[in-house]
Each structure stands twice: as C-alpha cells, then as structure tokens.
Amino acid sequence: MKRIKPILAGFVLALVTLFTASTASADLVSDSRRALQQLVAQNPATAKAKSKAIAILVFPDVVKAGFIIGAQGGQGILFMRGRPNGRYRTVAASYGLQAGVQKYGYALLDEPKSRELRKQHTRLGDWHRPERRHR
C-alpha cells in the first residue's frame, strides 16, 4: 500500500496538470471577466461587494480530481479597480474518502472594511480576540 500512494499521487497530479494546461493570457482574462459577470448576475450581494472592492482575484476554472488521494489546480487573474494586474495559480492536495473529477470557479474580493477588521486583530487566526491597547 505504501508504494501505491506515491504512484496514485503522481497520477492525480498529472491528471490535474493536463486539465489545467496553460491558457493564453488573453483567454484567461476574458474567462475571468465572464466568470465574474456570471457571479454578479446570479448574486446581487456580490454586485454590491464588487462595487466596493479594491481587488478581486478570479479563478474561472479550477479542476479537482482524486481517488483516495486528490489534487486541485487552476489559474486566475487579479483585477485591481477593474483592470488585470497579475496572474495567479491555486493548487492543493488532499487525501481521504474521495473519487471523481470536479470543475468549478471562485472569486475572492478585498474590501476596505475587511482591511480594517484585520488591523483590529492581533493575528489572522485570532478573529475572536481584538488587539488590546495598553495606556
């Protein structure tokens, strides 16, 4: 069983790499814009958040595949004030009871209020504990 796990992991990573083959930059930008427009059309709260967002990171096509050992990957575009400002990649690995292939997209929005919230807390993991100010 110990020899099978690396072989399965290599197979899954190769499969995900094939599905997320490098896309031309212009195609990735247009796919990201289209995915964001679709998200805004389906969810009115997203439209409001988008109008206030400083940056939006959009991954239009993320592929997740696995059989006991899994991997996922995809490429995305960072939009700053509506203009493309960088190309990013997301990757992850997992293990456990799983089998199949899934394709999805997602977007991360950075709002000014979220920055203020982060400044009030000591560490990212301590959302429940505000920073204490000593006088």
Q: Which residues contact 69 (CB under 8 A, 6 or more apart)?
A: 5, 8, 9, 12, 93, 94, 95
> Using one digit for the tens of pLDDT, what is the confidence trace for 39-81?
989 888 888 888 888 889 999 999 999 999 999 999 999 998 8
Residue 127 falls inside a structural domain: no
Q: Which residues contact 23 (CB under 8 A, 6 or more apart)?
A: 31, 75
Residue 98 falls inside a structural domain: yes
Residue 4's pLDDT is what?
Answer: 66
Instruction: Please give the residue range of the domain that contains residue 55.
Output: 4-119
Instruction: Report residue 74: phi and psi, to 5°.
Output: -175, 170
Residue 52 falls inside a structural domain: yes
- For 60: left if phi > 0, alpha if psi spans -120 to 50, otherwise beta; the answer is alpha
Question: Do residues 75 and 91 touch, judged by C-beta distance below 8 A?
Answer: no
* Mean of pLDDT values over 101-109: 91
Instruction: State what percent of residues in the chain have pLDDT above 70.
Output: 64
Query: Containing H/E element for 55?
Result: strand 55-80
* Mean of pLDDT values over 92-96: 91
Residue 54's pLDDT is what?
Answer: 86
